[in-house]
Structure 1
Amino acid sequence: MLDSRPTRSTELPHLESLLNAHKLCFNDLESQGVELFSVTKDNKPVGYFGYEVFGENALFRSFIVVPEEQGKNYGVHIWNMAKEQLKERKVKHVYLLTNTATDFFAKVGYTLFERAQVPESIAQTSEFVTFCPSDSICMRYEIE
């Protein structure tokens, strides 16, 4: 069984290293408003995810399964954990930017979304403004 908890500051170097190795945004993980979570199985790291919440909208970010645990369907389980957290927070629309995981996110229900149409609160995040390339693919998930 997978468990999630807020990421500890001592885990940030590991998370940053993983994200950097996979060419994912890691520059602003400690910024105000970024909430990060560690996912473990038997107290062993399986993956991480994060988000920023802006009322009914959220930016999903910093999502990764540790390399030695990939291919075990943990990504879907981790997304479902994140989705339940966001649902409890009354989030209705979840946005993300990706260059590498479009197929995965489509598989779990995200759809392509025009980057220029995201809410201003999302468009003004450092991930949208500074850290993700302008050719990143924007996607949206609707929480029911």
Structure 2
Amino acid sequence: MKITIRKATENEYRAIIHLLASNALPTADIYEKNITLFVGLIDEKIIATIGIETYGEVALLRSLCVKDELKNQKLGEKMLSYLLSFCTHEKIETLYLLTTTAERYFVRHSFEKITREETPLAIQQTREFQDICPASAVVMACNIT
């Protein structure tokens, strides 16, 4: 099963929103200008998505998501690997994320739990950090460089 990963087009945002919503992931702010979404495609159909919200040398990972029927096939790992390569190319030094359900998954992929206070101000000021994710969400960080 070959997956193709690329930057999402605006025409694909509706399908991305549906995929995110079906997995109870946030969609409220994905049209904001500093958010870039990527899609994973099999046979030209969107089966996965991942995004990044960029603030200079730091960024916030946005909603890694794979269609339910294709989970546990390492597609999420391929999406995450693609995003980490993108971060290297864009000279992003640290990637942050908020999660209420996937802490163990991201620990296996070099992310470490940090406190909300340790999070850079640029990330603390995002809608996801302030409004969208609950205060109980775990904050994690991965050094890229």
TM class, shorter-length: over 0.9
The within-5 A match list for 1:1-144 is 1-144=2-145
Structure 1 length as normaliser, TM-score? 0.93
Q: Percent identity?
A: 28
Which amino acid is the alignment partner of residue 47 of structure 1? A
Q: By how many angstroms is 1:42 displaced?
A: 3.2
**1: CA distance, partners of 2:104 / 2:128:** 21
Secondary structure (helix, strand or coil) at the match of 2:20 reads helix
Structure 2 length as normaliser, TM-score? 0.93
Secondary structure (helix, strand or coil) at the match of 2:25 reads coil
The answer to whether the 8 A contact 1:26-1:62 is kept is no
Secondary structure (helix, strand or coil) at the match of 2:130 reads helix
* Post-superposition CA distance 1:61-93 (Å, at most 9, x none): 121011121110111111000000011001110
**2: CA distance, partners of 1:18 / 1:114:** 29
What is the total number of aligned residue pairs between the two structures? 144
Which amino acid is the alignment partner of residue 127 of structure 1? E
CA RMSD of aligned residues (A): 1.3
Q: 1:18 to 1:42 in 2, by over 3 A?
A: closer
Q: By how many angstroms is 1:13 displaced?
A: 2.1
Which amino acid is the alignment partner of residue 115 of structure 1? R
The answer to whether the 8 A contact 2:15-2:46 is kept is no
